Amino acid sequence: MKYDIGLFGLWNQCNYGSIITYYALNKTLENMGKSVLMIDRPNVSVNFEESHTHARKFAVDNYKGIAVPMNSNVDFHRLNQLCDMFMIGSDQLWNYSVSKNFGRMFYLDFVADYKRKISYATSFGHEIDFAPENQRTLLQSYFKRFDKISVREDNGVNILRDIYGINAEEVIDPVFLCDRKFYEDMANKSKINIPKEKYILSCLIDPTEDKKVSIETLSNISNEMKTVNILDGFYWLSDKNAEKIGIEREKGVETADWINYIRNAEMIITDSYHTMCLAIIFKKNFIALPNKFRGYSRFDSIGRLLEIGYKFAYAPEDMLKNPEMLNAPDYNKISAKISSEQKRCLEWLKKAVN
């Protein structure tokens, strides 16, 4: 079977954000009438934990086209026979500390010159470029092969312009291209038992003692409201991460469950960018703990775009020093901005794939 678009990226990671951002992009492209082939990262491990995960189960259940795992450049070049054009998705794929582990694949080096090449909301992860000086001329040649380039953060626009001489468009994360009903339908597939009483949802990717104190501080401020804790979706790391800070957490949480917990929470506190995005989509009150280890740029950029920087806590005491942080965001203003950005970015994407 041939496909209109080969979509490449880290959609198979157990990180809930990676799963949902690629699924949203996949469905957006299908809604434009395009057939999509999901292209797996190379050298997929045969380790059971990595090859039989909730992320791969989600992919099998939800994607119409998945390329068989490929482990050589020859295999990847054969994809040119299957796809009319190729797209790199939204993740920190141009963060050199990530991309160097995959050769030049995240710059679509395996795609033929005559094939259309697009990036949608791809990210450098940080406000600076980590690519070594001696690699930048080569990377520039790959960027120039793209027909359309868009990035998720305004800092990415600056990097491409100032370092590589490339013009790029800043666009919103794919999760904002889909409406709330899309996520309601996903949450309805969850089989978990949601607490009947009001609860604060905490979702941590990189748990630390400071973040644990921030969660406890928010609970204390909120009249000792019950807290439901979720760690990242890499189950084989959860025990170690939970023990590291001594936190009780929900086990076996899959993507639909994660969304369902967000949908029903009274308040959300998180260092996860995409948990914050889903909190915004569901119009929840939230506190964000900007995760500098994973990349501050995305928090900084959306903070300016939606004017929500006052909801960012950098230390536990910030919630006590700044009571405004605890107030619910102005979702009339935020929703209007998202609606405007959604229209603009969908139009950009339609033109790019057509």
pLDDT value, residue 44: 58
The band of 160, judged by pLDDT with boundaries at 50, 70 and 90, is: very high
The answer, yes or no, to whether residue 219 has pLDDT greater than 80, is: yes
The pLDDT score that the predictor gives to residue 181 is 98
Boundary-marking domain end, from 161, 178, 195: 178
Q: What is the 3-state secondary structure (H, E, C) of the chain?
A: CCEEEEEECCCCCCCHHHHHHHHHHHHHHHHCCCCEEEECCCCCCCCHHHHCCHHHHHHHHHCCCECCCCCCHHHHHHHHHCEEEEEECCCCCCCHHHHHHHCCHHHCCCCCCCCEEEEEEECCCCCCCCCCHHHHHHHHHHHCCCCEEEECCHHHHHHHHHHHCCCCEECCCHHHHCCHHHHHHHHCCCCCCCCCCCEEEEEECCCCHHHHHHHHHHHHHCCCCEEEEEECCCHHHHHHHHHHHCCCCCCCCCHHHHHHHHHHCCEEEECCHHHHHHHHHCCCEEEECCCCCCCCHHHHHHHHHHCCHHHECCCCCHHHHCHHHHCCCCHHHHHHHHHHHHHHHHHHHHHHHC
In a domain? residue 347: no
Query: For residue 140, what are the domain limits?
Result: 3-178
Does one domain contain both 24 and 159? yes
Taking residues 19-45, what's their average pLDDT? 92
Whether 20 and 166 share a structural domain: yes
Q: Are residues 227 and 167 in the same domain?
A: no
Do both 185 and 79 map to the same domain?
A: no
**Is residue 285 located within the same domain as residue 330?**
yes
Q: Are residues 25 and 70 located together in one domain of the fold?
A: yes
Domain assignment of residue 18, yes or no:
yes
Structural domain count of the chain: 2
| Mean pLDDT confidence for 197-211 | 95
**Rounded alpha-carbon distances, angstroms, from residue 121 to 17, 81, 90, 172:** 14, 26, 5, 7
Same domain for 26 and 166, yes or no, is yes
Q: Report the C-alpha gap between 171 and 28 in whole angstroms.
A: 14
Q: Of 147, 178, 209, which one is at a domain's C-terminal end? A: 178
Q: What is the pLDDT of residue 133?
A: 96
**Mind listing the pLDDT tens digit for each residue in 178-198?**
999 999 999 999 999 999 999
172 shares a domain with 278: no
Same domain, 166 and 22: yes
Q: Evaluate whether residue 344 is within a structural domain.
A: no
Within this chain, do residues 137 and 199 fall inside the same structural domain, yes or no? no
Which residues have a Cβ under 8 Å from the Cβ of 93 and sit 6 or more positions away? 9, 10, 99, 106, 122, 123
| Inside any domain, residue 285 | yes
pLDDT band at 328 (very low <50, low <70, confident <90, very high): very high
Is the predicted pLDDT of residue 48 greater than 70, yes or no?
Answer: no
pLDDT for 52 beyond 80: no
- 105 found inside a domain: yes
Q: 305: which residues sit within 8 A by CB, 6+ positions away?
A: 172, 337, 341
The pLDDT confidence band at residue 31, using thresholds 50, 70 and 90, is very high
The CATH number of the domain where 267 resides is what?
3.40.50.2000
Whether residues 156 and 189 share a domain: the answer is no
Q: What is the pLDDT of residue 47?
A: 54
Average pLDDT, the chain: 94
Question: pLDDT at position 235, please?
Answer: 79
Mean per-residue pLDDT for 57-66? Answer: 94
pLDDT of residue 32: 98
The pLDDT > 70 percentage for the chain reads 97
> Average pLDDT in the 30-48 region?
82
pLDDT at 270 over 80: yes
pLDDT in tens, 76-95: 999 999 999 999 999 899 99
Could you tell me if residue 43 is inside a domain? Answer: yes
Check which CATH number belongs to the domain holding 19 and give it: 3.40.50.11720
Specify which residues 231 forms β-bridges with: 204
* pLDDT of the residue at 234: 84
Look at residues 150, 151, 140, 78 and name the one whose alpha carbon lies nearest to residue 115. Answer: 78
pLDDT in tens, 104-120: 999 999 999 999 999 99
The pTM of this model reads 0.95
In a domain, 349, yes or no: no
Q: Are residues 31 and 166 in the same domain?
A: yes
Task: Check residue 50 and give its pLDDT.
Answer: 57
Instruction: Give the mean pLDDT of 62-83.
Output: 90
Can you give the pLDDT at residue 292?
A: 80
